[in-house]
Structure formats: C-alpha cells, structure tokens
Amino acid sequence: MTPQDLPDLSKVATAREKPLEAILDTARDVVGGTETDLKTLVEAFGDRAFGPVMILCSLFLMTPIGAIPGLPAAFGLIIIVFALQLLFRRDYPWMPEVLRKIKISNVKLEKTQKFVSPVLSRIDNVIKPRVAFMTSAPAQVLTALVSIILALTMIPLGVVPFGVVAPAFIVGLLGLGITARDGVLILLGFAFSFGVAFGVFNLII
C-alpha cells in the first residue's frame, strides 16, 4: 500500500465529536488486513497529523505493546520529531524515511484497540473545544517543549516494564487537547508534567 492508494482519511481522523475513536478507526483503515509502515500511517492523517500521531503513540505505549524492547525509544523519537515541527510552526508534518522500517500490524492495532476501547467513548463524551488560548500558536510552543522533555524520558524509562506509561499518558493528553481544541486537557497535561517532575526531583534529593 502506498500513500497514493490511501483514501482521504484526514477528515475522519480529526473529527471533533469523537477524536479518539476516529483516530483508531483511521489507523485500522490504513493498516487494512495485514500491516503498514509507520510513515504511511502518519501520512494518512494529512496536515492535521500532529495531535493524532501523539495520541496514537501514547495509546500504543500504554498497552502491553509498549513493553516490547526498543519500541518506547522509537515512539519517543517520533514524538520528538513531531514536537519539533510543532515548535517551529511547520504546516505539514515531515517524517524520516527510516520510519518505513517500523511496521504496524493489524494484530498490534487490534490489541491496542481492545485494551483502550472501554474508555475511549467515555473520554470522547467529555472533551470539547474550550479555553481557546491554550490551543493558540504561542501556547503550542510550550506544549511542544513539554512533549519533547516527556519523550526524552521514554528512552531511559523504556528499560523498565511499563515505565513509560506516565509520560505516554501525558503526551496523549496534550495530543488530544491539540486535536479537539480542548485547552483544559492541555492544562491538565502541564499539571501532570509538573507533578511528575516534582516527584522525580524529590526522589533524587
């Protein structure tokens, strides 16, 4: 499957009413019955891929798939690549060709969807556009910086079973806030980030 063969799924993937369910539905349509590479999957989201891809990485990392050696670091790198582009206000996300080597199979996607489906609809029912200043361009700079820091922690935490769950959850909140234009979720993501940083600092002390 090539990007040219894909249907135009960007509108589905960024649906405001059910953003979480729409993202997984889009991923399932792209993967089809077998598998696809990560770069092709990202390209299917079009120019609104920043938020959805952050959410998708987060969902994978919070499931048993995130415990597979090497995957936390790979997804952390993807988050950093996207956050840097968000930081520099790039209109259309770019992904390196090396990500074609990372395969997303239908089996992995189904495991992820089965693991998170019970809570997706509940979350979708409570999110909505609000606190608009937190989704503005200046605020997205801070969102990008926080996402980069969180993604960097995934590299050492990847050796600890499910050690990346906390940063992945926060990245998911930030990505969902961007996708749904929900500033409350971004504020929550910042609050949790400071909480995690404070806890780590106390442990070091």
DSSP-assigned states of every residue in 47-97 = GG-HHHHHHHHHHHHTSGGGGSTTHHHHHHHHHHHHHHHHHTT-SS----G
What pTM did the predictor assign? 0.73
pLDDT of residue 8 exceeding 80, the answer is no
143 vs 123, more confident? 143
Q: pLDDT tens for residues 58-97?
A: 887 887 766 677 778 888 888 888 888 888 877 666 777 7
Top mean pLDDT of 9-18, 30-39, 179-188 is at 179-188
pLDDT of residue 116 exceeding 60, the answer is yes
Strands (E), the chain: 35-37, 103-105
Distance of CA 75 to the CA centre of its chain: 9
User: According to the model, what pLDDT value does residue 17 have?
Assistant: 55
Mean pLDDT of 167-195: 88
Mean pLDDT of 44-70: 74
Q: pLDDT class for 155, splitting at 50, 70, 90?
A: confident
Give percent of the chain above pLDDT 70: 74
Give the mean pLDDT of the chain.
75
pLDDT of residue 181 exceeding 90, the answer is no
